[in-house]
Chain A
């Protein structure tokens, strides 16, 4: 079983992100379960959503306390919520919506010993503003996750986007996911040649 925990703020599409991830996994013939941890339902309040992916029926209903991957939609949460709690190390994944590096975010010590290709910083808000016109970093981060983990394909992410949205919103999000996917893939290629 692969477990993903997504942290963000109300309005950033945290819950929708987990749902789309589950749809993408479902489309690849896997079992998937996505669910939110609702707190105060306010824009800007910290929100957590979860997604489990497995090849057999998922019966477990507890929150994900030891994620294989963390997706952080808002790096300011790093100082407010115990975002990194329980992450599997050293082979877990961390994806953060940021221009900065892990060192600049003060995570250098935490990620020491973790493989570089599992530590992904991607300017997801910028990508969503460019392609969707709104600061919704959830979808570009899913594109980046697909590239970094190889767990789901970009095609499935795009199909999940189209399952959730229609028209221009779907197109914009698909473009944002694709750009994030290509950026991370290119970075991984460069790193492997280096």
Chain B
């Protein structure tokens, strides 16, 4: 049924349709509306046979999720930003133990400086934690990916992180097609755990493993992710049959025919990029877009195949590997090994900076003419940066950087873009 609602609400309803048995969460912006919505649905009885557990921290949230999943319950939680970092140790344990927890990460920057707005630094910090990571482009896709996530997680016995842009998606009202319960039931069978803690049939989960087998256990985690490369498109195809729309999959090409320049990105910024590329195509510029839906496992072969005829690639990413540059771009380069394709990194949208069509037009044109640096920072104000550097050259006690910059900037509340 089509409805106009907030992204967080759409995700809460989708999770409810998946018949979760345990939901544990700790509030943190911009994720909070999702678990608030689920809390209400559990309390009102709209979600049956489900326990909603309020915990005292994100570390507790993931620990409870590990416990309930190990006991054989379909388990869901959500977090963002510092919350994801705070639970990091347990995040690795969840994947290491092979527990099919589904978690939403409402993507938000990481401090310091403290910032509540959107970028991908939080999810990217956990890219090698062993969880599957999928990124949603729209609220419809966020909804769909959650339903797919439970199936994917449970078939592989691996946890799945569904990443959606904080505020930009979580707090956006747009129309979504909410599936019926029967459709979801037809797609997602009841959870049959590979392992579970049962007092009547005791086992231990989480043995200590020494050098004699640790590599083998880790290799199995890697090979499961490689299995996911085959399973993710299969699940997307099955989803399409039942629900009648495309969602998920590994990568999503757009206007790639004859594209000499390909823009690669993840998440909601793909919408603005597609609008920009449509306008550039109207002018005869051969530009295409490749959205990456599955970031872990990273679809090396699918990316290589999609872009092999291109001359250059612009990876636009909302994250920064400090000291080297792009995270996504580094991964993309691996997919292109041996191909004569230039790759540029554009770091954009950090801490909620708006990514505008005007800026994209400018940077894509520069890229087409090979006029951007290998790592380009979109709309970076070098005036501000240079003032800080100058201050630091001039005086030893130059003071805190963030505070100095805010003072230099003056009133920031008056800016709209």
Contact = CB atoms under 8 A, between A and B. Distances in A.
The answer to whether A binds B is: yes
Interface of A: 5, 15, 18-19, 22-23, 26-27, 31-40, 45-46, 48, 58-63, 65, 80-82, 85-86, 163
A100 B116 CA distance: 37
B174 A63 contact: no
B173 A32 contact: yes
B354 A62 contact: yes
Interface string B107-135: 00000000011000000000000000000
A40 B268 CA distance: 23
Interface stretch (B53-61, B85-93, B409-417): B409-417
B168 interface: yes
Nearest to A24: B4
A68 to B, nearest CB: 15
B355 interface: yes
B4 A32 contact: yes
Contacts of A32: 4, 173-175
Given A32-B4, A32-B175, A38-B171, A63 B354 contact: yes
Interface string B263-290: 0000011111011000000000000000
Contacts of B237: none
Contact of A36 (B116, B171, B174, B272): B171
Contacts of A38: 116-117, 167, 171
A59 B116 contact: no
A33 B272 CA distance: 13
B6 interface: yes
Interface string B1-44: 00010100000000000000000000000000000000000000
Given A19-B173, A22-B4, A31-B175, A61 B416 contact: no
A128 to B, nearest CB: 21
29 contacts: A18-B173, A19-B6, A22-B173, A23-B4, A23-B173, A31-B174, A31-B175, A32-B175, A33-B172, A33-B173, A33-B174, A35-B173, A36-B167, A38-B167, A45-B413, A46-B413, A59-B272, A60-B272, A60-B275, A61-B272, A62-B272, A62-B354, A62-B356, A63-B354, A63-B416, A81-B413, A82-B414, A82-B416, A163-B4
